[in-house]
Amino acid sequence: MAVVEVNNLVKSYGPLEAVKGITFSINRGEIFGLIGPNGAGKTTTLRVLSTLLKISSGSIKIMDYDLEKEPDEVRKIISYLPEDAGAYKNLSGRRYLEFIANFFQEKNTQQMISRGMEIANLGERIDDKVDTYSKGMMRKLLVGRALMTEPKLAILDEPTSGLDVNNAQEIRRLVKSTARAGTTVLLSSHNMLEVEFMCDRIALISNGIIVEEGTPRDLMEKYNAKNIEEVFTKVVR
Amino acid sequence: MSSLGNIIKKEARELMTPTTFIPIILIAVMFGTLGNAFGNIEETMQEKPVIGLINADEGNFSANANLIIEGYSDVVFKSNDTLEKDKGLEELKEKEGIALLIIPSDFSEKILNNFPSEIEIYWIMKGAGILDSISSAVVEELIKIINTNISYELISTNATVNATIALNPTYRNETTYFKGRELKGVSPGDITNILSSQSTLIPIVMMMVIIMAGSTVISSMALEKENKTLETLLTLPVNRISIVAGKIISSAMIGLILAVIYMAGYSNFLGSFEISGQINLIDLGLYLSPSDFLLLGLSVFVTLIAALSFCMLLGTMAKNFKSAQTLTFPVTLLALIPMFITMFKDFDTLPAALKVLLFGIPFSHPMMAPRALIFDDYILVISGIIYVGIFAIFMIILAVWVFKTDRLLTGSVRRKKKGRSLFKLK
């Protein structure tokens, strides 16, 4: 069953067309990777799907909700982690998670906060002000925030950006286990190894157009490549 | 190029932006405009005051007083019949006069008999601003000259004159007509003094509240963008009106707390200069009733909401904390203009263009409201509340609209001439 259905999506900023009619769908529990060079339209696509930007033309359905007509309903079932996101510096990690959880009144907020703290895995530092966190700690807190709500769709823009190898591996494992538990994941990344390891399917986007789509294995076979990085360089020249 | 030159060039290029120069240019234009609008104070002081004179006395002292008055003022009504007081006042009102002086029939005789003589003054007061009282100050100076002249004459011609009478041969019996009220026993100067604490305290407090609370809202929006928390907030299940309203209400609360702290300190400061007067404000009707306080509170409240909504709109344009500081400038300017105008001039005595400007600036209304309420000018206060309320609603709708568009995150996209595009993302 498709959780996300994107049909002929176009997104323009004035005269500039950043996304030029892309179509893809993501099934329940699937990790779908959107990869491409800088300025290809990845973040724009993710921002449109997370209700931040308006659709210029085309349509998007998330769990049967029309994103253009029912953005408030969509916001209840998605979670977006921007690439360079931050948290409120005057709050502690715990207070930040509480602040976010309070927007989801229908769910058990206390349970949600505990889950967020578990994912963030910051130990006693969870009660310190966010202002004192390292980049890696901040990212872990934000991943905890994004996944604690058990969204139907998690949209993750460069989830391991700025993390060291150990922390990045931890986040990847977390995302995979979240997907196994039923959350659909749409992520973008520049790290081809990460994409190959995590994604069930990937779409290569270049100049606002999806130029290739498939499982990592199929794409590697098709392009007779040893890894996705090679596929990427062959497709996006 | 030397290293020093290289750094100077880079720094100068960074500083020489429109945001550096526009505020200073606007301030210069503002002061220039206000200066022209208020007119030249020196000229006003040198202008002959327009007055009326009823001289019922035929003695020497009044004749001399008559000569002084005619020499230093423009006498538009003359009579020797004290019963023509009302006629004189009517004529003065028509000719924009400021005072009717009445010299009674026993003026000279009383002085010669060692009794101080009365000069009745009926003031027609137009405004209670600091600059509005200049004309009456000129007339008061005229009375002093008459007094000095009589003193000189008494001392030089009459060796047996009582010293007290020689120094103070006349006393004033004053009545002031202001905004439809007859205020007995007070001069325009007294009224200006009574109202001066409001003229300075309320505009300054309002200005401070607007600037403090306004900059809080703008900074809050700028920090959301700078710390990259806005994107997360906008994808949460919370409607845009709640985000806008939440920021406005919290800033209004902080603004009011700051105002109370500021007002407590400032009123203490002003109180140290106050001299307890003998004028009973309640007898003169110069006080605010409970319903007046309610209207004043409403005026302050809607203005605060209007100011914060306007700041919220400005905040959506902020890219970061630095740009937020620049964006507080329009708010500061819009708070400073009415503060200066209301401190120096009364709304009624302003030129038409300034009246329109003052009414149009939403922050002016709570600054003008106390004086207007004291003199029962409910039309100005209520129309102000309605206008500011509409302004606030419009600003909130506009802010919510911006929150629903891409503009909040992507900034502006402009098209260059000749079909070339200029893409500008925040």
Q: Could you report the predicted ipTM of this complex, rounded to two decimals?
A: 0.91
Architecture per CATH, domain B41-185, reads as 3-Layer(aba) Sandwich (3.40)
Determine the angle formed by the axes of helices B240-271 and B290-315, rounding to 10 degrees: 130
Sequence spans of domains, chain B: 41-185, 196-419
Q: Are B223 and B215 spatial neighbours (Cβ–Cβ below 8 Å)? A: no
Question: pTM (2 decimals)?
Answer: 0.75
For each of chain B's 426 residues, which pLDDT tens digit applies?
Answer: 777 888 888 777 777 777 667 767 777 777 776 666 665 556 666 678 888 999 888 888 888 888 888 888 888 898 888 888 889 889 888 888 888 999 998 888 888 888 888 899 998 888 777 677 667 777 888 888 888 988 888 888 866 777 788 888 888 888 988 887 888 888 888 887 777 766 677 788 888 888 888 888 888 888 888 888 999 999 999 888 888 888 888 888 887 777 677 667 666 665 555 544 556 666 677 777 888 888 888 898 899 899 999 999 998 888 777 778 788 888 888 888 888 888 878 888 888 888 999 999 999 998 888 888 888 889 999 999 999 999 999 999 999 999 888 888 876 555 444 444 444 433
Does any CB of chain B come closer than 8 Å to the CB of residue A47?
yes
What are the chain A neighbours of B239 within 8 Å (beta carbons)?
Answer: 72
Q: Are B254 and B213 spatial neighbours (Cβ–Cβ below 8 Å)? A: yes
Strand partners, A79: A154
Strand partners, A23: none
Query: With an 8 Å Cβ cutoff, are A13 and B425 in contact?
Result: yes
Nearest chain B residue to A18 by CA: give it. B423
Q: Which of residues 48-67 of A touch B (CB under 8 A)?
A: 50-54
Does any CB of chain A come closer than 8 Å to the CB of residue B227?
yes
- What single DSSP character describes residue B418? G
3-state secondary structure of B175: strand
Sequence spans of domains, chain A: 2-86+150-235
Tokens for B173, please give them.
Answer: 């019996």
Q: Are A19 and A208 spatial neighbours (Cβ–Cβ below 8 Å)? A: yes
Fold topology of A2-86+150-235: Rossmann fold (3.40.50)
Residues in Cβ contact with B407 at an 8 Å cutoff, skipping those fewer than 6 apart = B316
What are the chain A neighbours of B415 within 8 Å (beta carbons)?
Answer: 14-15
Contacts 24+ apart (CB under 8 A), A46-50: A46/A80, A46/A155, A46/A157, A46/A186, A46/A188, A47/B231, A47/B409, A48/A9, A48/A11, A48/A19, A49/A4, A49/A6, A49/A78, A49/A153, A49/A155, A49/A186, A50/A78, A50/A80, A50/A155, A50/B231, A50/B235
Does any CB of chain A come closer than 8 Å to the CB of residue B236?
yes
Report d(CA A95, CA B400) in Å as an integer. 27
What are the chain A neighbours of B405 within 8 Å (beta carbons)?
Answer: 54
Give which of A10, A11, A12, A13 to mutate to test B binding, by max B Cβ within 10 Å: A13
Query: With an 8 Å Cβ cutoff, are A52 and B234 in contact?
Result: yes
